[in-house]
Amino acid sequence: MTVASLPTGKILHRKHKNDLGLALGFLTPATIGLVIFFIYPLIRGIYLSFTKYNLFTDPQFVGLDNYSRMMKDPVFWNAIRVTIEYVVINIGIQTIVALVIAVLMQRLTESTFVRSVVLSPFLVSNVVVALVWLWILDTSFGITNAVITSLGGHAINFFSSELAIPTIAMINVWRHMGYTALLLFAGLQGIPGTLYEAGKIDGASERRMFFSITLPLLRPILGLVLIMSVIGSFQVFDTVSVTTGGGPVNASRVLQMYMYDLAFGRFQFGYACALSVALLLILMAVTFIQYRMTNAGSTDLD
């Protein structure tokens, strides 16, 4: 019997079975990686947060002692404050600058070369970016202070207690704003050009079209970008580690830096895991609030 003579239902059934096997074949490696590198460490970390564990002995169950200690830990609350300060500065400036760049790329040029130039800082490692800016902003030998002093000003310690977090935030703004701009630019491509043409016919200015057309229709992708950026900002570590190491004193000791110091500096893995669970809960709450506030699951194009 040839394939052509088979009933249509049998052909579709065989095709469905073949597609299912192919799909499972592609999904299996990713699923194994997800379980090994994400789900198991998550469950293991939550369990260790209820234990006293220093890597050299077996975990000892202590109940909620780690969480009770966390509530009374002034360094933890300082780390939360410093992290929130970093997130607000980084996300606020990065989103505004990236949105301006995305709109300029849409309205003025769609050159692939321009997009690659805008994205280029994101392709550089965080550690390399931090090292380069550490040299550029060095108080004694940095080119920034050389320019300031040549103009008659005084050298600025960009990594002092007052300026450490704003400086680190601006370094990461420089690195990530191109990537964020390209995500927003992709969202702008989904806005029909006829809407802007109608706005021009009605005599709307560029400013009016931006606030009445661009921003409302960009809301879903903007909400997604904000959620991704906030999650990434709460997990900042490498830039802080390279530039200040959490200092001076605790001025730039973000939550990830404090967790790393507890786990690998003091071998207090149980308490460090409790802090990581607290960060997980904070991110879940922030993500939920952002999703509801931005209404990112719907679009005004419908």
- Listing DSSP states for 230-294 in one string gives HHHHHT--HHHHHHTTT-STTTT--HHHHHHIIIIIS--HHHHHHHHHHHHHHHHHHHHHHHHHH
**Which pLDDT score, from 0 to 100, does residue 18 have?**
67
Nearest-angstrom CA–CA distance, 183 and 98: 9
What DSSP line would sit under 43-84, residue for residue? HHHHHHTTEE--SSS--EE-TTHHHHHHHT-HHHHHHHHHHH
Most confident of 110-114, 128-132, 296-300: 128-132
For range 28-48, the mean pLDDT: 94
Nearest-angstrom CA–CA distance, 155 and 255: 30
For range 256-270, the mean pLDDT: 94
Nearest-angstrom CA–CA distance, 232 and 287: 12
Per-residue confidence band for 302, with pLDDT thresholds at 50, 70 and 90: low
Q: Omega of the bond prior to 59 within 30 degrees of 0, cis?
A: no
**Which pLDDT score, from 0 to 100, does residue 17 have?**
56
* pLDDT averaged over every residue in the chain: 88
Per-residue confidence band for 176, with pLDDT thresholds at 50, 70 and 90: very high
Nearest-angstrom CA–CA distance, 140 and 258: 29
**Residue 184 · residue 105 · CB < 8 Å:** no
**Which pLDDT score, from 0 to 100, does residue 36 have?**
94
CB hemisphere CA count around 67 (13 angstroms): 13
**Residue 227 · residue 290 · CB < 8 Å:** yes
For range 129-135, the mean pLDDT: 94
Nearest-angstrom CA–CA distance, 55 and 130: 31
For range 61-65, the mean pLDDT: 95
**Which pLDDT score, from 0 to 100, does residue 191 have?**
84
Most confident of 9-18, 211-220, 249-258: 249-258
Nearest-angstrom CA–CA distance, 254 and 86: 8
Say yes or no to pLDDT of 8 above 80: no
Q: Omega of the bond prior to 248 within 30 degrees of 0, cis?
A: yes
For range 54-59, the mean pLDDT: 88
Say yes or no to pLDDT of 212 above 80: yes
For range 95-102, the mean pLDDT: 92
Nearest-angstrom CA–CA distance, 140 and 39: 47
**Alpha helices of 120-163 — where are they, by DSSP H?**
126-136, 143-150
Q: Which two tokens stand for residue 68?
A: 């009770």
**Which pLDDT score, from 0 to 100, does residue 201 have?**
87
DSSP state of 191: S
Say yes or no to pLDDT of 166 above 70: yes
Nearest-angstrom CA–CA distance, 272 and 264: 9
pTM of the model: 0.87
For range 258-286, the mean pLDDT: 94
State the Cα angle at 96 between 124 and 198, rounded to 5°.
Answer: 120
Least confident of 5-14, 20-29, 127-136, 278-287: 5-14
